Amino acid sequence: MATQPNRALPDGYQLLNYKIAKQLSGGGFSIVYLAHDENGVPVAIKEYLPSQLVLREEGSVVQATTAENLATFRYGMKCFFEEGRALAKINHPNVVRVINFFRANETVYMVMRYERGKTLQEEIQSRKRTVKETFIRRVFAEMLNGLREVHTHKILHLDIKPANIYIRIDGSPVLLDFGAARQTLTSEKSRLSPMYTPGFAAPEQYKNRDILGPWTDIYSVGASMFACLAGFAPQAADQRLVNDKLASARKLWGGQYSDQLLDIIDWCLQLNYMDRPQSVFQLQKALLEVVPTPEKKKSLIDSIKTTLTKEIF
């Protein structure tokens, strides 16, 4: 297996009708580039490139490291391509827009609309003070609109985390970087390292993948809300199954946020999938519920006015 990182396509590389401008990000599964089409419109291009299976040292063509890896790579490529095909059918303001997908360089590429803004992770890190409850409720309620649409198309995200929730310049959130193909590849080929994010992945993503469902993404939503409050991810689910040290949100932030919001986070983070919200609609309904605000104390002037009014009438 390849242990060294794959070489990204060089800046200026012509990929069909797209010209690579620079690399945006890279991981063990793919590389994402900023590119421009023939009209100069910016796009984000995701290249399927699992470093455990293939290696690109020079040039542009991807090569499997072993004959055995080649079969696994091709299976994953098929899953990645099918994920792109499924996502291309979704046109929702809170879900990344897939506008093209194609094969080249012995691998596959997914072309997405390029969004301007920053990730929720960057937003959390940039805020010196506590993230406000109004911000959390608005961002997640809007993001859940997109997730509901995704689930309607029988797709699971399987990698929801603050780094994959993008906040546009206008403040609206958009879901990025789906992990369904990664999960499929891992579950079918157990010799590969797991491809999920500890702290945000649900217990069933570590084992019992046959029970993956909307509740799996909902666990990740709860973990992402937890991260907004804590500044870091909760204890990893596999560790919690052995020795659960995760304190409840109500215990950690009682008095700083509404009990209702804290209860929602704890609800989402239940280890038993049946104890979590079973649908995005159920979670969204709870999140949008109006929480009564404490009555403000009247000032001395207001009290005098009230007294005078009662005396006059």
> 204-252 pLDDT, tens per residue?
998 887 899 999 999 999 999 999 999 999 999 999 999 999 999 999 9
Show the low-confidence residues of the chain (pLDDT under 50): 1-2, 294-298, 304-305, 307-313
pLDDT at 244: 97
Cβ contact 102:182 at 8 Å: no
Structure tokens at 270: 């239940």
Q: Are residues 22 and 59 located together in one domain of the fold?
A: yes
217 φ, ψ (degrees, to nearest 5): -65, -35
Q: Are residues 75 and 26 located together in one domain of the fold?
A: yes
User: Which domain, by its residues, includes 58?
Assistant: 14-113
Site of tokens 């470093």: 51
DSSP for 9-66 reads PPTT-EETTEEEEEEEEE-SSEEEEEEE-TT--EEEEEEE--TTTEE--SSS--EESS
Q: Are residues 182 and 263 located together in one domain of the fold?
A: yes
Cβ contact 225:245 at 8 Å: no
Q: Are residues 160 and 256 located together in one domain of the fold?
A: yes
CATH number of the domain within which 173 lies: 1.10.510.10
pLDDT at 1: 42
pLDDT at 71: 87
Query: Using CA atoms, how far apart are residues 83 and 139, in angstroms rounded to an integer?
Result: 25
In this structure, how many other beta carbons lie within 10 angstroms of the beta carbon of residue 223?
Answer: 27
Q: Domain count of the chain?
A: 2
pLDDT at 191: 52
Q: Are residues 147 and 281 located together in one domain of the fold?
A: yes
Residues 6+ apart with CB under 8 A from 261: 133, 136, 137, 225, 249, 287, 291
